[in-house]
Amino acid sequence: MKKIRIGVLVSGRGSNLQAVIDNIEQGRLSAEVAVVISDQAEAFALERARKRHIPAVHISAAGHKGKREAYDGLLIEELRKHSVDLVILAGFMRIITKVLVQAYPNRIMNIHPALLPAFPGLHVQQAAIEQGVKFSGCTVHFVDEGVDTGPIIIQAAVPVLDSDTEDTLAARILVQEHKIFSRAIQLFAEGRLAVQGRRVVVSGGRAESGDFLINP
Ligand code: GRF
C-alpha cells in the first residue's frame, strides 16, 4: 500500500507524535512523517523528530500577532514543500484559520482530550472532573473552521474515577490518544473515511457488538 505523507504540527512535548513514529516503525501505520513543524522553538517534539532524521522546522509566530492568516500561509508553504497528504495537529496550541483549512479540506485531523462535542477548548480534563461525568476520553476529528467542531472520526471512552485529579485523568486519556490517532490515520491511509455532513462514515467499520461501558 502507498504510504501517505503526514505533516505534524506541534507546540510541546510531542507524545502523540512519538506514538505515530513508533507505530510507523512497527509497521502498524502505512505512513511517513514528512515534516514536523512547531510554533515553539523549544518544543520537545522537534527533538523527537530530529532524533529520527525527520525534517523539524520552527516557524515563529513572532511578528504575526493579529495576522493569523499570514502565519498559516507560512505553514502551507512548508507543508507543500514536503508534499504532505494529511496534516495532523498533535498538541498544536494555535487556532488555525480558514486559509489552512481550505488548503487541506478534510485532510487535517486534530486530537482532543475529551469526548466532543462535550468539553471543547482548554483544561478539559479538569472541567470533566468538576462536571462529575463518569466517562471522558478523547476524540480525533477532521478540522473545520470552528474550534474542536469538525466531523468526528474516532473516540475512545475512559472512566473518570472519584480519586482522579486533572493529571491522573489526563494520563489515562493520553494512553488512548496514542492508540486512536494512529488508527484514524491508518483509516485515512486506507481510503476508508468518507465525510457526509457532520458524520464520518468508515467503510468496513465495526459491526454492532454487545459491548457497552458502564462506570462505576
Ligand atoms: C494532548 O492531550 C492532545 O489531546 C492535546 O494536546 C496534548 C498534546 O500532548 N491536543 P503531546 O504534545 O502529544 O504529548
Any idea what the CATH number is for the domain that residue 86 is in? 3.40.50.170
Ligand 1 residue neighbourhood (C-beta within 6 Å): 12-16, 90-91, 111-113, 174, 177
pLDDT of 208:
79
For residues 91 and 188, state if they share a domain: no
- Tell me, what DSSP letter sits at residue 85? S
Is 169 within 8 Å of 136 (Cβ atoms)? yes
Would you call 112 a catalytic residue per the annotation? yes
For residues 76 and 152, state if they share a domain: no
pTM over 0.75: yes
Distance (Å, rounded) from C-alpha 34 to C-alpha 6? 5
Is 155 within 8 Å of 184 (Cβ atoms)? no
For residues 76 and 157, state if they share a domain: no
pLDDT digits (tens, 9 = 90+) for 39-62: 999 999 999 999 999 999 999 999
Is 99 within 8 Å of 108 (Cβ atoms)? no
pLDDT beyond 90 at 200 = yes
pLDDT of 14:
98
> Which of 53, 76, 104 lies at the terminal end of a domain, its last residue?
104
* Percent of all residues in the chain with a pLDDT value above 90, rounded to a whole number: 91
Mean pLDDT, range 137-164, rounded to an integer: 97
Domain containing residue 182: 111-216
Mean pLDDT, range 8-19, rounded to an integer: 98
For residues 3 and 51, state if they share a domain: yes
> Which of 81, 104, 127 lies at the terminal end of a domain, its last residue?
104
Q: What is the CA(113)–ligand 1 centre distance, in A?
A: 7
Q: Which residue has the higher pLDDT, 211 or 117?
A: 117
> Which of 88, 104, 120 lies at the terminal end of a domain, its last residue?
104
C-alpha angle with apex 129: 126 to 132, nearest 5 degrees? 150
Q: What is the CA(10)–ligand 1 centre distance, in A?
A: 9
Question: How many domains are there within the chain?
Answer: 2
Q: What is the CA(48)–ligand 1 centre distance, in A?
A: 14
For residues 96 and 115, state if they share a domain: no
For residues 120 and 75, state if they share a domain: no
pLDDT beyond 90 at 29 = yes
For residues 81 and 148, state if they share a domain: no
Helix-helix angle 166-189:15-25, to 10 degrees: 40
- Tell me, what DSSP letter sits at residue 161? P
For residues 17 and 99, state if they share a domain: yes
Pairing status of strand 86-89 against strand 108-112: parallel
Q: Which three cell numbers stand for residue 150?
A: 469538525
Round the average pLDDT of the chain to a whole number and report it.
96
Probe ligand 1: pick from 177, 179, 185, max atoms within 8 Å of CB? 177
pLDDT of 173:
98
For residues 198 and 122, state if they share a domain: yes
The residue annotated as part of the active site, out of 53, 82, 112, 141, is 112
